[in-house]
């Protein structure tokens, strides 16, 4: 594939077939809206004009906080059209604590220094109210309006003269910590990834992608957005806020438009299987699906079985459920299971896996067997190896840190040369994920660091601990937050242990309620289990830090039975 820039590719596609529908916006409460390539280009040029009027220029960071999907799409590409660097952030929901939001904005303003904050008519007021007033790096706020009435003469437009090695976009994880590490990706890296990943799944312009994924997340932004639009395919798009209340929307969208590909985090397989009623699936036909791809959080075999059992009558069995291992730092995909086959399951000896960190194959039916789901072979151009703690290469079936190298890596963590340097070892990007290789297939076991993945989103435990530490009665810094795998929901529950002084039952009840409130309002997650413990209970590392996974094991062994919903808890054999 010839390396282009995002604007060049979009213009090429539009000039080639302006009347082809490339986007269908689905809503829970109003009719679908279709957009042709021509319509999209007109909207992009309008948004680019509005951003330029606000002062956006090549190389500027444009942070986008918008709710309206059409405006969001136009603003993202409008910024790219100017050679500016778009970065989509989630908009603040009403539950969010304004002080907390301002604090994370300050972190972003000081480090990334956005020139423009692009918002829309729906969230403009809220966004303005949440900006840290008086800050010296305050960006210009531009409210982008969905105007695209002006006629566009396609023949006379020429794409801006950008370099494929320019930074095309930034991706952030959520929370205060995530906002301090923007993954910067070049046009070249994006196209190289789309090419390699496209080969792995046999992607063509005839594919129809259906997605509810948020665009501030790599799976939503790359697989569920850039992949179809930069390859000339059609994208059927809905908002995560609509989908989470009306999950059957996804099935209807697939059915109505003969959808072929869909990416979902593991929890969504459980969610769809458990929460859609038969009456909401009347007339639905999912037989057009080539693959529904499980990606971005640990894959549970049981989730695939649950989904296949529920949706086989509608046309999706196990053979259509695939798995992908992906990360923002490689743009998206690292490995992918073959389309059209059930993901391979590796049966390994549990004792050996936990005791020796070796995944020894065993026969089915034997006792003490761990069933691990493959994430497939590395995609074209991707090299994967497994390293021990001293960065020595490990042989097949030995568990260690997964390291990757490819022609489509991040350019840098934006304005963070320290973090960029720390992430690599002799050209290999250290993923922080633990896993092993077997027959060239990548098996991912969990995180080396204490990161939580809840519903596909990365959540930093230190952010949750800081929130809990603000509650009166909790010893600041004497808190441990961690994930507890829950097979019922297909994702992790958030658990938290906090040291308190008081021994009064009533005070404990209030402290628990306050911690719950502080985390609900200050983060993207809800805490499920809160344990209060006396002073001195928490295990600390030799350097005096609270050891999260050790405390998780301690609390679960002391209070086993407090929560019935946690069988099959993996051991912490990858504690780093």
Indicate whether 422 belongs to the interface with another protein (CB under 8 A).
no
Q: Which is nearer to another protein, 215 or 525 (CB)?
A: 525
Indicate whether 514 belongs to the interface with another protein (CB under 8 A).
no
Kindly provide the residue ranges of all beta strands, DSSP E only, lying in 85-172, ordered along the sequence: 85-88, 116-119, 140-143, 167-171
Residue 130 in 3-state DSSP? helix
Q: Which helix (H) or strand (E) holds 211?
A: strand 208-211
Indicate whether 507 belongs to the interface with another protein (CB under 8 A).
no
Indicate whether 503 belongs to the interface with another protein (CB under 8 A).
no
- From 1, 16, 17, 28, residue interacting with another protein (rule: CB under 8 A): 28
Range in contact with another protein (rule: CB under 8 A) among 295-303, 351-359, 403-411, 511-519: 511-519
- From 416, 475, 517, 540, residue interacting with another protein (rule: CB under 8 A): 517
Helices (H), 153-283: 175-178, 187-201, 218, 227-230, 240-245, 248-257, 266-275
Answer yes or no: are the C-beta atoms of 375 and 335 closer than 8 Å.
yes
Q: Which is nearer to another protein, 93 or 504 (CB)?
A: 93
Rounded to the nearest whole angstrom, what is the least distance from the CB of residue 566 to another protein in the complex? 11
Window 468-497: contact mask with another protein (x via CB under 8 A): ---------------------x--------
Indicate whether 69 belongs to the interface with another protein (CB under 8 A).
no
Helices (H), 258-300: 266-275
When computed from its CA atoms, the radius of gyration of the chain, rounded to whole angstroms, is: 24
Range in contact with another protein (rule: CB under 8 A) among 87-95, 306-314, 386-394, 439-447: 87-95
Range in contact with another protein (rule: CB under 8 A) among 90-98, 218-226, 318-326, 463-471: 90-98
Looking at residues 99 to 158 of the shown chain, list those that interact with another protein (rule: CB under 8 A): none
Residue 100 in 3-state DSSP? helix
Please give the biggest Cα pair distance in the chain. Answer: 76
Indicate whether 314 belongs to the interface with another protein (CB under 8 A).
no
Answer yes or no: are the C-beta atoms of 401 and 327 closer than 8 Å.
no
Give which of 247, 278, 283 is closest to 264, Cα–Cα.
247
Sign of CA dihedral 228, 376, 344, 572: negative
Rounded to the nearest whole angstrom, what is the least distance from the CB of residue 246 to another protein in the complex? 4
Rounded to the nearest whole angstrom, what is the least distance from the CB of residue 470 to another protein in the complex? 15
* Exposure string over 54-77, b if 16+ CB within 10 A, otherwise e: bebeeebbbbbbbbbbbbbbbbbb
Indicate whether 393 belongs to the interface with another protein (CB under 8 A).
no
Indicate whether 383 belongs to the interface with another protein (CB under 8 A).
no
CA distances 265 to 42, 210, 338, Å, are 33, 14, 18
Range in contact with another protein (rule: CB under 8 A) among 177-185, 209-217, 528-536, 539-547: 528-536
The phi, psi pair for 337, rounded to 5°, reads: -80, 155
Indicate whether 275 belongs to the interface with another protein (CB under 8 A).
yes
Range in contact with another protein (rule: CB under 8 A) among 173-181, 244-252, 291-299, 474-482: 244-252
- From 123, 453, 484, 525, residue interacting with another protein (rule: CB under 8 A): 525
Indicate whether 311 belongs to the interface with another protein (CB under 8 A).
no
Answer yes or no: are the C-beta atoms of 206 and 233 closer than 8 Å.
yes
Indicate whether 528 belongs to the interface with another protein (CB under 8 A).
yes
Copy the structure tokens of residue 362: 């065993």
DSSP 223: I
- From 24, 290, 310, 512, residue interacting with another protein (rule: CB under 8 A): 512
Q: Which residues contact 258 (CB under 8 A, 6 or more apart)?
A: 208, 288
CA distances 553 to 438, 453, 477, 547, 566, Å, are 29, 18, 19, 10, 12
Answer yes or no: are the C-beta atoms of 9 and 163 closer than 8 Å.
no
Range in contact with another protein (rule: CB under 8 A) among 41-49, 74-82, 142-150, 241-249: 241-249
| CA-CA-CA-CA dihedral for 376, 377, 379, 385, to nearest 10 | 120
Answer yes or no: are the C-beta atoms of 208 and 492 closer than 8 Å.
no
- From 16, 57, 59, 95, residue interacting with another protein (rule: CB under 8 A): 95
Range in contact with another protein (rule: CB under 8 A) among 172-180, 240-248, 404-412, 548-556: 240-248
Q: Which is nearer to another protein, 28 or 351 (CB)?
A: 28
Rounded to the nearest whole angstrom, what is the least distance from the CB of residue 340 to another protein in the complex? 31
Indicate whether 502 belongs to the interface with another protein (CB under 8 A).
no
Rounded to the nearest whole angstrom, what is the least distance from the CB of residue 351 to another protein in the complex? 32
Instruction: Tell me, by CB under 8 A, how many residues bind another protein.
Output: 32
Locus of tokens 């949706």: 311
Rounded to the nearest whole angstrom, what is the least distance from the CB of residue 449 to another protein in the complex? 24
Indicate whether 277 belongs to the interface with another protein (CB under 8 A).
yes
Indicate whether 563 belongs to the interface with another protein (CB under 8 A).
yes
Q: Which is nearer to another protein, 104 or 489 (CB)?
A: 489
Indicate whether 416 belongs to the interface with another protein (CB under 8 A).
no
Locus of tokens 């938290």: 496
- From 33, 57, 422, 513, residue interacting with another protein (rule: CB under 8 A): 513
Rounded to the nearest whole angstrom, what is the least distance from the CB of residue 568 to another protein in the complex? 18
Residue 40 in 3-state DSSP? helix
What HEC string does 494-553 produce? EEEEEEECCCCHHHHHHHHHHHHHHHHHHCCCCEEEEEEEECCCCCECCCCCECHHHHHH
Rounded to the nearest whole angstrom, what is the least distance from the CB of residue 519 to another protein in the complex? 8
Looking at residues 394 to 413 of the shown chain, list those that interact with another protein (rule: CB under 8 A): none
Cα 486–Cα 488–Cα 493 angle in degrees, nearest 5: 30
The phi, psi pair for 21, rounded to 5°, reads: -75, 125
Rounded to the nearest whole angstrom, what is the least distance from the CB of residue 530 to another protein in the complex? 7
Q: Which is nearer to another protein, 349 or 524 (CB)?
A: 524
Indicate whether 271 belongs to the interface with another protein (CB under 8 A).
yes
- From 141, 159, 241, 394, residue interacting with another protein (rule: CB under 8 A): 241
* Contacts to another protein by CB under 8 A: 28-29, 93-96, 241, 244-247, 267, 271, 275, 277, 455, 489, 509-510, 512-513, 516-517, 520-521, 525-526, 528-530, 563, 565
């Amino acid at each position: 594939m010839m390396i282009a820039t995002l604007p060049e590719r979009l213009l090429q596609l539009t000039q080639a077939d302006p009347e082809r529908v490339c986007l269908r916006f689905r809503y829970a409460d109003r009719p679908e809206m279709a957009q042709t390539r021509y319509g999209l280009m007109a909207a992009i040029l309008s948004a680019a004009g509005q951003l330029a009027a606000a002062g956006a220029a090549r190389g500027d960071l444009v942070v986008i906080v918008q709710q309206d999907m059409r405006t969001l799409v136009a603003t993202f590409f409008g910024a790219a059209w100017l050679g500016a660097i778009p970065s989509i952030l989630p908009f603040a929901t009403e539950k969010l604590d304004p002080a907390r939001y301002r604090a994370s904005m300050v972190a972003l303003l000081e480090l990334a220094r956005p020139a423009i904050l692009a918002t829309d008519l729906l969230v403009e007021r809220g966004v303005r109210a949440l900006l840290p007033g008086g800050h010296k790096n305050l960006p210009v706020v531009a409210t982008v309006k969905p105007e695209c009435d002006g006629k566009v003469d396609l023949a006379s437009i020429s794409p801006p003269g950008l370099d494929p090695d320019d930074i095309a976009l930034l991706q952030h994880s959520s929370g205060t910590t995530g906002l301090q590490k923007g993954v910067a990706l070049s046009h070249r890296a994006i196209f190289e990834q789309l090419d390699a990943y496209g080969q792995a799944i046999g992607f063509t312009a005839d594919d129809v992608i259906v997605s509810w994924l948020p665009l501030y997340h790599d799976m939503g932004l790359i697989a569920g957005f850039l992949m179809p639009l930069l390859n000339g395919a059609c994208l059927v798009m809905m908002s995560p806020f609509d989908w989470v209340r009306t999950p059957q929307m996804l099935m209807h969208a697939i059915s109505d438009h003969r959808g072929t590909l869909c990416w979902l985090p593991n929890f969504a397989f459980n969610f769809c299987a458990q929460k859609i009623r038969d009456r909401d699936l009347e007339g639905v036909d999912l037989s057009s699906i080539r693959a529904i791809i499980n990606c971005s959080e640990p894959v549970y075999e049981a989730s695939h079985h649950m989904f296949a059992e529920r949706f086989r009558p509608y046309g999706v069995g196990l053979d259509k459920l695939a798995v992908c291992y992906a990360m923002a730092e490689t743009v998206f995909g690292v490995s992918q299971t073959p389309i059209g086959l059930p993901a391979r399951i590796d049966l390994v000896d549990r004792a050996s896996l936990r005791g020796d960190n070796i995944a020894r194959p065993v026969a089915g039916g034997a006792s003490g067997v761990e069933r691990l789901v493959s994430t497939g072979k590395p995609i074209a151009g991707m090299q994967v190896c497994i390293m021990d703690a001293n960065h020595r290469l490990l042989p097949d079936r030995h568990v260690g840190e997964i390291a990757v190298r490819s022609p489509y890596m991040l350019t840098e963590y934006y304005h963070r040369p320290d973090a960029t340097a720390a992430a690599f070892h002799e050209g290999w990007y250290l993923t922080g994920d633990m896993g092993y290789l077997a027959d060239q297939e990548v098996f991912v076991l969990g995180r080396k660091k204490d990161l939580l993945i809840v519903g596909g989103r990365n959540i930093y435990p230190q952010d949750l601990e800081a929130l809990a530490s603000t509650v009166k009665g909790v010893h600041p810094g004497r808190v441990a937050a961690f994930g507890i795998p829950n097979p019922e929901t297909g994702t992790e529950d958030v658990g938290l242990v906090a040291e308190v002084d008081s021994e009064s039952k009533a005070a404990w009840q209030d402290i628990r309620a306050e911690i719950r409130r502080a985390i609900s309002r200050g983060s993207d997650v809800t805490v499920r289990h809160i344990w209060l413990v006396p002073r001195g209970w928490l295990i600390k590392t030799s350097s005096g830090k609270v050891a999260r996974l050790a405390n998780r094991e301690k609390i679960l062994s002391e209070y086993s039975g407090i929560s019935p919903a946690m069988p099959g808890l993996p051991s912490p054999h990858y504690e780093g």
